[in-house]
Amino acid sequence: MTSVAPQNVIAVVWDFDKTLIPGYMQAPLFKRFGIDGAEFWQEVDAMSDFYRRAGADLIGPEMLYLDHILTYVKEGKMAGLSNAVLRELGAEIELYPGMPQFLNQLAKGIEADPAFADHGIRVEHYVVSTGLRQMILGSSIAPEVDGVWGNEFADAVPLPGYLEHNQDALFAESPREVTHIIYSIDNTTKTRALFEINKGSNKHSDVSVNAKVPASHRRVPFNNMIYIADGPSDVPSFAVVTERGGLAYAVYAPHSKSEFEQANRLLEQGRVNAFGEANYEEGSQSYMWILHAAERIAERIVADRERAISSSLGEAPTHLDG
């Protein structure tokens, strides 16, 4: 890269389950196929012990639910589950109050301020989730976000020798079912998405997330980021953002004492800068705090850019006495 990035983008990065929505996104999936959700998650929770008894030593517990979904498909309990069905089910996801309108209100509010507009400052929203990406893309949040990271299934699989045959036929097959996991993300690897946003890998395919990119060339500095999530599982992401100058905000379900206490512990431990109810309606605590945080970042960007412009111009010549 030959030019310095303008660094005038504010990235608001959202978790999904229990942050943008009251529960877990899989609820419409279970409802569609008549699956007892509590039983499904009990089975998932017991899978680590099952695999250890089978002789396994290394197990990724956070991602076992993806394999269990595929097992349900294979066994006919979710027959016909495809990426198209997942996206269709995403439309049934219930969002917290104020969503998705708040995403647009925040972006438009920053862009409408003349002081910020003069420097081309804008807000981009991203979702980084350990849930199912196709369901998020099918939800009403999707039109308001600039990118989504989540787990991806394949429902068209390249069989041995597929390069020698007409691949269009593979995509034309119907009905299709999800059979493989082709992208996975857990609570630790969510931080990779943050670095992709930081370096601009998500916008420029020629920029590798593993490349050494000078601070001045990074598209979204971490101090231009706000990370919003609900709990301890997001501590790695909270840390990546706050330790590099960004802001972190925790949310909790309204009227939930246990979730309030959890969010309060995150604040006491210095994991987040503040917390509030997962209510994004105008005038709510979360609405006000996130808007104020974005405005603070925008004001700092303006100050930094004007300082840089002034420095590049140098001091004006003056008359000297004597």
Top-confidence residue, 163 or 26: 26
Strand partners, 180: 154
The beta strands (E) that lie in 48-175 are given as 122-132, 147-154
pLDDT at res. 67 = 97
pLDDT average, residue stretch 92-99: 98
Closest CA to 247 of 11, 21, 6, 18: 11
pLDDT value at 27 more than 50 = yes
Highest mean pLDDT among 60-64, 103-107, 169-173: 103-107
pLDDT at residue number 313: 63
pLDDT tens digit string along 231-275?
888 999 999 999 999 999 999 999 999 999 999 999 999 999 999
Write the pLDDT tens digit of every residue in 153-193: 999 888 888 888 887 877 777 778 999 999 999 999 999 99
Confidence of residue 322 (pLDDT cuts 50, 70, 90): very low
Q: How far apart are the first and last CA of the chain?
A: 50
Torsions phi, psi for 223 (to 5 deg): -75, 0
Using a pLDDT cut of 90, give the percent of the chain over it.
79
Whether pLDDT at 20 is above 70 = yes
pLDDT of residue 165: 81
pLDDT at 211: 82
CB 121 within 8 A of CB 7: no
> What is the overall mean pLDDT for the chain?
92
For residue 301, pLDDT over 80 is answered with yes
**Per-residue confidence band for 314, with pLDDT thresholds at 50, 70 and 90:** low
- Residue 62 bridge partners (DSSP): none
Q: Please give the Cα distance from 272 to 287 (Å, whole number).
A: 16
What pLDDT, on the 0 to 100 scale, is given for residue 11? 98
Per-domain residue ranges of the chain: 9-313
Which superfamily is assigned to 9-313 in CATH? HAD superfamily/HAD-like (3.40.50.1000)
Rounded distance, CA 1 to CA 135, Å? 35
- Which tens digit of pLDDT belongs to each residue from 67-93? 999 999 999 999 999 999 999 999 999
CB 128 within 8 Å of CB 19: no
With a cut of 80, say whether residue 310 has pLDDT above it.
no
* Statement: residue 3 has pLDDT above 50: no
- Token pair 């197990």 is at which residue? 59
- How do residues 121-150 score in pLDDT, each as one tens digit? 999 999 999 999 999 999 999 999 999 999
Q: Is the pLDDT of residue 112 over 90?
A: yes
pLDDT reported for residue 72: 98
Is pLDDT above 60 for 321? no
Determine the pLDDT at residue 203: 87
Q: Omega before 114 cis (within 30°)?
A: no
